Amino acid sequence: MLRMSQTKGTLYLVATPIGNLEDVTQRALRVLAEVSVIACEDTRHTRVLLERFSIRTKTVSYHEHNERERAAELASLLGRGESVAVVSDAGTPGISDPGFRLVRAAIELGVRVVPVPGPVAFVAALVASGLPTDEFFFGGFLPSRTHARRARLASLRAMRCGVS
Protein backbone atom coordinates (compact mmCIF):
# COMPACT_ATOMS: atom_id res chain seq x y z
CA MET A 1 0.00 0.00 0.00
CA LEU A 2 1.34 3.47 -0.90
CA ARG A 3 1.82 6.00 1.86
CA MET A 4 -0.20 9.25 1.68
CA SER A 5 2.89 11.33 0.90
CA GLN A 6 3.55 9.18 -2.19
CA THR A 7 0.07 9.57 -3.65
CA LYS A 8 -0.92 13.07 -2.56
CA GLY A 9 0.94 16.32 -2.33
CA THR A 10 1.73 18.42 0.72
CA LEU A 11 0.47 21.89 1.51
CA TYR A 12 3.02 24.11 3.24
CA LEU A 13 1.99 27.31 5.02
CA VAL A 14 5.23 29.29 4.96
CA ALA A 15 5.74 32.35 7.15
CA THR A 16 7.71 35.12 5.47
CA PRO A 17 9.59 38.14 6.87
CA ILE A 18 7.56 41.07 8.16
CA GLY A 19 10.09 43.73 7.26
CA ASN A 20 13.62 42.40 7.07
CA LEU A 21 14.34 39.68 4.49
CA GLU A 22 17.04 38.27 6.77
CA ASP A 23 14.29 37.10 9.16
CA VAL A 24 13.33 34.27 6.81
CA THR A 25 14.15 30.81 8.14
CA GLN A 26 16.42 28.31 6.42
CA ARG A 27 13.54 25.83 6.44
CA ALA A 28 11.25 28.32 4.68
CA LEU A 29 13.86 28.87 1.97
CA ARG A 30 14.30 25.12 1.48
CA VAL A 31 10.55 24.51 1.21
CA LEU A 32 10.07 27.41 -1.22
CA ALA A 33 12.83 26.02 -3.42
CA GLU A 34 11.47 22.45 -3.37
CA VAL A 35 7.70 22.83 -3.89
CA SER A 36 6.00 22.64 -7.28
CA VAL A 37 4.33 26.04 -6.96
CA ILE A 38 4.15 28.97 -4.54
CA ALA A 39 0.74 30.58 -4.05
CA CYS A 40 1.37 34.26 -3.23
CA GLU A 41 -0.80 37.04 -1.88
CA ASP A 42 1.13 39.33 -4.28
CA THR A 43 3.53 37.68 -6.72
CA ARG A 44 5.50 40.92 -7.17
CA HIS A 45 6.11 41.19 -3.44
CA THR A 46 7.11 37.53 -3.10
CA ARG A 47 9.37 37.79 -6.16
CA VAL A 48 11.63 40.18 -4.20
CA LEU A 49 12.18 37.51 -1.52
CA LEU A 50 12.63 34.71 -4.04
CA GLU A 51 15.13 36.66 -6.16
CA ARG A 52 17.14 37.66 -3.06
CA PHE A 53 17.67 33.96 -2.30
CA SER A 54 17.89 32.74 -5.94
CA ILE A 55 14.70 30.67 -5.75
CA ARG A 56 13.13 30.02 -9.15
CA THR A 57 9.94 28.17 -8.20
CA LYS A 58 6.81 29.03 -10.21
CA THR A 59 4.44 31.46 -8.48
CA VAL A 60 0.69 32.04 -8.81
CA SER A 61 -1.49 34.71 -7.27
CA TYR A 62 -3.64 33.70 -4.30
CA HIS A 63 -5.39 36.63 -2.64
CA GLU A 64 -8.75 37.66 -1.21
CA HIS A 65 -10.20 38.39 -4.67
CA ASN A 66 -9.38 35.01 -6.25
CA GLU A 67 -9.11 32.78 -3.17
CA ARG A 68 -12.22 30.71 -3.81
CA GLU A 69 -11.35 29.78 -7.41
CA ARG A 70 -7.61 29.48 -6.86
CA ALA A 71 -8.08 27.26 -3.78
CA ALA A 72 -9.93 24.75 -5.98
CA GLU A 73 -7.14 24.82 -8.58
CA LEU A 74 -4.42 24.39 -5.96
CA ALA A 75 -6.35 21.60 -4.22
CA SER A 76 -6.47 19.79 -7.56
CA LEU A 77 -2.67 20.02 -7.81
CA LEU A 78 -2.34 18.67 -4.28
CA GLY A 79 -4.64 15.77 -5.11
CA ARG A 80 -2.39 14.90 -8.08
CA GLY A 81 0.69 14.72 -5.84
CA GLU A 82 2.10 18.20 -6.34
CA SER A 83 3.42 20.16 -3.37
CA VAL A 84 2.21 23.72 -2.82
CA ALA A 85 3.51 26.48 -0.55
CA VAL A 86 1.29 29.38 0.47
CA VAL A 87 2.86 32.69 1.47
CA SER A 88 1.36 36.03 2.39
CA ASP A 89 3.09 39.36 1.87
CA ALA A 90 4.46 39.27 5.42
CA GLY A 91 3.95 36.90 8.31
CA THR A 92 1.94 33.71 8.43
CA PRO A 93 -0.63 32.75 5.78
CA GLY A 94 -4.08 32.31 7.24
CA ILE A 95 -3.59 34.93 9.98
CA SER A 96 -5.72 37.75 8.54
CA ASP A 97 -4.47 36.64 5.11
CA PRO A 98 -5.62 34.08 2.52
CA GLY A 99 -5.11 30.42 3.30
CA PHE A 100 -8.15 29.16 5.20
CA ARG A 101 -10.06 27.86 2.16
CA LEU A 102 -7.08 25.95 0.81
CA VAL A 103 -6.27 24.43 4.20
CA ARG A 104 -9.87 23.22 4.50
CA ALA A 105 -9.78 21.78 0.97
CA ALA A 106 -6.47 20.02 1.67
CA ILE A 107 -7.81 18.49 4.87
CA GLU A 108 -10.93 17.28 3.06
CA LEU A 109 -8.69 15.64 0.44
CA GLY A 110 -6.58 13.96 3.11
CA VAL A 111 -3.55 16.01 2.09
CA ARG A 112 -0.90 16.70 4.69
CA VAL A 113 -0.80 20.36 5.86
CA VAL A 114 2.55 21.51 7.25
CA PRO A 115 3.08 24.89 8.92
CA VAL A 116 6.54 26.38 8.45
CA PRO A 117 6.68 28.89 11.33
CA GLY A 118 8.43 32.21 11.31
CA PRO A 119 7.65 35.88 11.90
CA VAL A 120 4.19 36.77 13.20
CA ALA A 121 3.28 40.47 13.26
CA PHE A 122 1.06 40.47 16.33
CA VAL A 123 3.58 38.48 18.37
CA ALA A 124 6.41 40.83 17.38
CA ALA A 125 4.24 43.82 18.38
CA LEU A 126 3.24 42.18 21.66
CA VAL A 127 6.76 41.32 22.84
CA ALA A 128 8.03 44.83 21.99
CA SER A 129 5.04 46.59 23.64
CA GLY A 130 5.99 46.16 27.27
CA LEU A 131 2.58 44.62 27.98
CA PRO A 132 2.35 41.35 29.93
CA THR A 133 2.85 38.43 27.55
CA ASP A 134 1.83 35.51 29.75
CA GLU A 135 -1.79 35.98 28.68
CA PHE A 136 -3.20 37.91 25.71
CA PHE A 137 -6.09 38.10 23.28
CA PHE A 138 -5.72 38.40 19.51
CA GLY A 139 -8.91 39.61 17.87
CA GLY A 140 -7.51 40.22 14.41
CA PHE A 141 -6.12 43.39 12.92
CA LEU A 142 -7.96 46.67 13.35
CA PRO A 143 -10.03 48.06 10.47
CA SER A 144 -8.32 50.76 8.41
CA ARG A 145 -11.30 53.14 8.41
CA THR A 146 -11.42 55.51 11.38
CA HIS A 147 -15.06 54.96 12.38
CA ALA A 148 -14.84 51.17 12.12
CA ARG A 149 -11.51 51.15 14.00
CA ARG A 150 -12.94 53.26 16.85
CA ALA A 151 -16.01 51.02 17.08
CA ARG A 152 -13.84 47.91 17.24
CA LEU A 153 -11.61 49.43 19.94
CA ALA A 154 -14.70 50.41 21.95
CA SER A 155 -16.00 46.83 21.80
CA LEU A 156 -12.60 45.47 22.85
CA ARG A 157 -12.37 47.93 25.75
CA ALA A 158 -15.29 46.09 27.38
CA MET A 159 -13.27 42.85 27.47
CA ARG A 160 -11.26 42.30 30.60
CA CYS A 161 -8.66 39.93 29.12
CA GLY A 162 -5.51 39.85 31.20
CA VAL A 163 -6.34 43.11 32.95
CA SER A 164 -5.80 43.14 36.69
Q: Look over the chain and give the mean of its residue pLDDT values, rounded to a whole number.
A: 89
Least confident of 31-40, 100-109, 139-148: 139-148
Per-residue pLDDT, 87: 96
C-alpha to C-alpha distance for 112 and 114, rounded to whole angstroms: 6
- Measured between its terminal Cα atoms, the distance across the chain in Å is 57
Q: Please report the pLDDT score of residue 121 as a whole number.
A: 81
**In this model, does residue 6 exceed pLDDT 60?**
no
Q: What confidence category does residue 161 fall into, taking pLDDT thresholds of 50, 70 and 90?
A: low
2 confidence band (pLDDT: 50, 70, 90): very low
CATH code of the domain occupying 4-121? 3.40.1010.10
Q: What percent of the chain has pLDDT over 70?
A: 93
Contact 84, 31 (CB under 8 A): no
Per-residue confidence (pLDDT) for residue 138, from 0 to 100: 82
Residue in 111, 113, 109, 110 with CA at minimum distance from that of residue 99: 113
With residue 46 as reference, give the H or E element that holds it: helix 43-52
* 75 against 64, higher pLDDT: 75
Question: What is the model's pLDDT at position 5?
Answer: 45
For CATH 3.40.1010.10, list the domain ranges present in the chain. Answer: 4-121
Query: What pLDDT does residue 142 have?
Result: 86
User: Does 4 score more than 50 pLDDT?
Assistant: no
* Confidence check: pLDDT of 136 > 60: yes
